[in-house]
Structure 1
Amino acid sequence: MGSSYSQNIFRLYIIKCAKWFMLVMPIVVPFYQDNGLSMHDVFFLRAIYSVAIVLLEIPSGYFADVWGRKTTLVAGTVMGAVGFGIYSFSYRFGEFLVAEMVLGVGQSLISGSDSALLYDSLKAEKRESEYLKLEGRVTSIGNFAEAIAGVLGGLLATLSLRYPYYGQTLVALIGVPAALSLKEPPRDDRHAKPGWKDILQVVSHSLVENKKLRTAILYSSVIGTATLTMAWFVQPFFKEISLPLSMFGVLWTVLNLLAGLVSIIAYKFEDALGQKRTVFLILVFITGSYVAISQTMTVWGIAILVIFYFVRGIATPVLKNYIIQYTTSANRATVLSVRSFVIRIIFAGVGPFLGWYTDQFSLGSALAIAGMVFFTGGFIVLLPFLQNRSRMRQANQ
């Protein structure tokens, strides 16, 4: 029985690879611009993607809790393949918009369900204490996949900016059989009365009633939005410093490979630094990198990106683990979806403005503003977050 749930881990690795083997990421901004889009259009499309996720993010997490994580993961992988299939044969903003909405729905179905299924698979074998280590490993798999895809996507783009999208459709299809072969782990606390009222109760519990969980979600969301936004500034920065297109994929690979390697040992950094220092340094280095790059719009800015992605590798599994500790198996996927919901809401509001500001003024000034905004937001929620962690540690002692 136990070994069958262990096999879920390998299948989640495959789903993670299919999701993050992004051949298109190193060249997506040049692809948009080649089809006549401005930076405002680029960030607007990403905002629409975020809105599509927002509309289904929490309901999809809830459906995963009620109907099963496997069902939502299967649906999410299918939608991902369909979305990139649409992209492959699209040339106009409106067509890209449809593709982004489909991809947003697919992403919302996967988000939270994969981590919840991982935790419950471990719990079925009484190995839940290994969650942080394995979540870091799953995260690193995604980073490794994105890194390798960066090189291949960059090479394909030298032939045609459209070739990476053809390949991406095939890659996305790989996740479908992996999702179909998952085994749903048992849960001891299912929802008694499934429905929208129950969803609202979970959201209220996460963002209003449970102060510890609320601050963990908000802080993780601010950092998550900062890392997401930087991903969309990297390519314009490469273009700003006149980096050859063929090098986009190489550097994208190096950065994501670094984040993946660090994710594997993220728990060791937390053990060595302690929880307070870890969350504080994450805020300082993530937001400080924005400001530093804005003042170094040369090839030396790549060194700052290295630091940023190093810290990103620590932040993703560590902050997600903080949220996991405050949830139960009945609501775990829903609560993780609340986090993703908050990230997408913030990005939908901030992203288009930063894109417009880049078009109207400069990339450097937009980066500086982004850094200050994220630092302010993170600092506001950081103090109560640290207080909650201190109380939890005292209670455990």
Structure 2
Amino acid sequence: MKGRHIKIQLIKFSLYGFFKNLRFFDPFLLLYLTYNNISLTHIGILFAIREAIIYIFEVPSGVFADKFGRKTELIICFIFYIMSFIIFYLGNGFHHFIIAFSLFGLGEAFRSGTHKAMIMDFMDYHNIKDNKSKIYGATRSYSMIGSMFSSILAIVLVRILPSISTLFLVAIIPYIFDLLLILSYPNYLNTKIEHKFSFKEFFQGSIVIISTTLKNKTLRSTLFDSATYNAIFKTIKDYIQIVIYAALITSFVKMDDATESIEINLALIYAGMFLLSALASRLSHRFLKLSSRDNILNYIWLLTALISSLIIIFNNSLYITIGLFSLFHVLLNIRKPIMIEKIGDMADSSQRATILSVESQITSLVIIVMAPLFGFVYDRWNLQYVFILIVIFSLLFSLITYKKRNLSNT
């Protein structure tokens, strides 16, 4: 009976990720904003606003989860998401999209770290000590399958729906399913550390946990390592859409249905990337058989530098660029389950949601700095110089990690 309960809950965890990633608008978000006469500069500002909201509310949301329950927080987060989708659908100007991105940022802040902490709590509750990266990787693979399925279904939707904006309304449906799924989670996953609440204690608790976390040198180093890699990926993900769009519009400029062809090709490219991501996430635990956890994480920094160097060399080839960028997705999804396992093992179970939120908050802070920097370099020179920066960052973090590990072993 216990084994059946564990299996059912793991399926629920997986379905949560699947439904969460049914964001049919993802491959077309930048297109949709440009269709509404939002300049690339203003798009950058919108992404910065989203990350700023995540940064501000990340840790308080983690403390909220620890005090009021993680199920409760996830329900609130999906309400924010649904509200943002409605405004994305109705909006047609910069100020409307500020509200939409802000609500989306609140949803991200309330979600990040919480579901991962619930999975870890579930494994602790049932005394599942081994293969945490395998279980998290398997559940994360369903998220990537959801993204792939979303991109494929988006090809059909853009052909039958009256406009791209309607994709935001359609995306509400799977999010309602996720709300119902979360409500079905067992109550022991709605962990509450304290029932009594005051704003003073709320923010004091956040400060204490952040301070304690950052005083732990090993944990601090791990969080910055994880956050920087995630930030680089998220920043480049936004800019690569522009590269793909520019190349495709050149290819289809003579076609009457150029816009629809671009949208379909973008969806196909994203579907392929998400399929590779799903496979990488599901198989990530197998890489731990090849070497130690720290070695694998360091090798991924080195491979990131290598791939970035190849993008610089083959920047004029769209297909090679797409292939190399797909490898970024693979590396991220090999790295993330391993890194989550490492952070989870280092953190106290009662503070995991908050510590994982600290990691996401650092990611947002790095993106707030990195996205404008990469954008300026891209506008001032070209994409090659952006990847030169990534090569430098990757080699620097690899060297720092290697030296710290050697010092700890002496």
TM norm structure 2: 0.87
Residue 66 of structure 1 is matched in structure 2 by 67
- When residues 62 and 145 of structure 1 are mapped into structure 2, their CA distance, relative to the original with a 3 A threshold, is same
**Aligned equivalents of 2:190, 2:177: Cα separation in 1:** 28
1:168 aligns with 2:168: no
Q: Which residue of 2 aligns with 1:336?
A: 356
1:300 to 300, 306, 320: 320
Deviation at 1:75, TM superposition (A): 0.9
Residue 273 of structure 1 is matched in structure 2 by 291
Q: 1:141-173, CA deviations, whole angstroms, 9 ceiling, x for partnerless residues?
A: 111111111122244335632232222222322
CA RMSD of aligned residues (A): 2.5
The aligned amino acid for 1:199 is S
**Quick check: 2:12–2:181 contact (8 Å CA) kept in 1?**
yes
Residue 88 of structure 1 deviates from its aligned partner by 1.1
Output one character per residue of 1:68-97: Cα deviation in whole Å (capped at 9) or x when no partner: 111111111221111111111111111111
Q: Structure 1's 77 and 232: CA in aligned 2 closer, same or farther, altered over 3 A?
A: same
CA contact (8 A) 2:82 2:175 kept: yes
- TM superposition shift of 1:331: 0.3
**Aligned runs of 1:139-158 on 2, under 5 Å?**
139-158=140-159
Residue 319 (str. 1) matches residue 339 (str. 2): yes
**For residue 301 of structure 1, what is the amino acid of its counterpart?**
T
Q: Deviations 1:252-301 (Å, cap 9, x if unpaired)?
A: 01111111111111011122132243112211222433343233221221
Equivalences for residues 24-63 of structure 1 within 5 A: 24-63=25-64
Which of 178, 181, 184 pairs up with 1:181? 184
* Matched residue count: 389
Q: Which runs of 5+ in 1 are unaligned?
A: 392-397
Amino acid at match of 2:345: Q
Inter-CA distance 188–109: structure 2 relative to 1 (3 Å threshold): closer
Q: Does the CA contact (< 8 Å) of 1:229 and 1:347 recur in 2?
A: yes
CA contact 1:223–1:378 (8 Å) conserved in 2: no
> Residue 104 of structure 2 aligns to which amino acid in structure 1?
L
Match of 1:395 in 2: none
What amino acid is the match of 1:96? F
Counterpart for residue 245 of structure 1 = 263
The structure 1 residue matched to 2:374, chosen from 348, 354, 359, is 354
Which residue does 1:196 correspond to in 2?
A: 203
The structure-2 alpha-carbon separation of the partners of 1:77 and 1:287, relative to structure 1 and needing over 3 Å to count, comes to farther
Instruction: After superposition, give the CA deviation of every residue in 1:30-53 in whole Å (9 maximum; x if it has no partner).
Output: 111111122222222111111111
Q: Larger C-alpha radius of gyration, 1 or 2?
A: 2
Query: Aligned equivalents of 2:76 and 2:380: distance in 1?
Result: 40
Secondary structure class of the residue paired with 2:24: coil
From the superposition, tell whether residues 200 and 380 of structure 1 become closer, same or farther in structure 2 (CA, over 3 Å). farther
C-alpha distance in 2, partners of 1:175/1:188?
A: 19
Give structure 2 stretches of 5+ with no counterpart. 252-261
Change (3 A) 1:81 1:188: closer
Q: State the partner residue of 2:258.
A: none
The 5-angstrom pairing of residues 254-293 of structure 1 reads 254-293=272-311
Q: Equivalents in 2 of 1:187, 1:81: separation in Å?
A: 22
Q: Against the structure 1 CA distance between its residues 381 and 71, is the aligned structure 2 distance closer, same or farther, given a 3 Å change threshold?
A: farther
The aligned residue for residue 365 of structure 1 is 385
SS at match of 1:300: helix
Q: Does 1:378 align with 2:397?
A: yes
Measure the CA separation in 2 of the matches of 1:389 and 1:107.
35
Q: Secondary structure at the match of 1:127?
A: coil
2:171 match: secondary structure: helix
Bigger shift: 92-101 or 306-315? Answer: 306-315
Q: CA–CA distance in 2 between the matches of 1:387 and 1:206?
A: 23
SS at the partner of 2:267? helix
1:206 maps to amino acid: T
Code of the aligned partner of 1:173: I
- CA deviation after TM superposition for structure 1 residue 5, in Å: 6.0
Structure 2 residue matching 1:91: 3-state secondary structure:
coil
Q: Normalising by structure 1, what TM-score?
A: 0.90
Q: Larger deviation: 355-364 or 39-48?
A: 355-364
Aligned to 1:128: 129
Quick check: 1:5–1:183 contact (8 Å CA) kept in 2?
A: no
SS at match of 1:203: helix
Partners in 2 of 1:354 and 1:5 — Cα distance?
Answer: 44
Letter in 2 for 1:233: Y
Q: 1:234 to 1:154 in 2, by over 3 A?
A: farther
SS of the residue corresponding to residue 273 of structure 1 reads: coil
**Percent identity over the alignment?**
20
CA contact (8 A) 2:69 2:190 kept: no
Q: Give SS of 2:290's match.
A: helix
Kindly provide the CA deviation profile for residues 304-325 of structure 1, in whole angstroms up to 9, marking residues without a partner as x. 1232222122011111111111
1: CA distance, partners of 2:99 / 2:27: 21
**Paired position in structure 2 for 1:76:** 77
Between 1:337-346 and 1:144-153, the stretch displaced more is 144-153
Residue from 197, 206, 219 that aligns with 1:213: 219
Partner Cα separation in structure 2 for residue 359 and residue 155 of structure 1? 34
